[in-house]
Amino acid sequence: GAGVSQTPSNKVTEKGKYVELRCDPISGHTALYWYRQSLGQGPEFLIYFQGTGAADDSGLPNDRFFAVRPEGSVSTLKIQRTERGDSAVYLCASSPPGGAGELFFGEGSRLTVL
């Protein structure tokens, strides 16, 4: 399929470790978003990219979180010194240029920090 692909689908790590979550958007989609969703909550905005640049990173909770999109396609969300409170589903979405604003989501990466 040509949908948004996220890897890994599940990640279990220990407190203090470093993790990377990858997102491969739909081909041709210029905007890419990262959200975090905890149980019973809506998706919480983290950051979005237009092309290679982070257009708005106001949702990143602190400096342990960082995201890149070096070639304007695949993006990586990086979390340093993970904490138990980082446990959540991390959702990636992409959106086509000139579209009406619909976001197409991947299935998410479930992160568990022990």
Partner 1 sequence: RKEVEQDPGPFNVPEGATVAFNCTYSNSASQSFFWYRQDCRKEPKLLMSVYSSGNEDGRFTAQLNRASQYISLLIRDSKLSDSATYLCVVRIGTGGFKTIFGAGTRLFVKA
Beta carbons of 4 and 105 less than 8 angstroms apart: yes
C-beta of residue 21 within 8 angstroms of C-beta of residue 68:
no
Could you give the CA distance from residue 12 to residue 7 in angstroms, rounded to a whole number?
13
Q: Within positions 1 to 30, which residues make up the interface with partner 1, using CB under 8 A?
A: none
In whole angstroms, the minimum distance from the beta carbon of 18 to partner 1 comes to 25
Q: Is 83 in the site for partner 1 (CB under 8 A)?
A: no
Cis bond before residue 8 (omega within 30° of 0):
yes
**Cβ closer to partner 1: 50 or 76?**
50
Residue ranges binding partner 1 (CB under 8 A): 31, 33, 35, 41-45, 48, 50, 55-56, 58, 91, 95, 100-103, 105-108
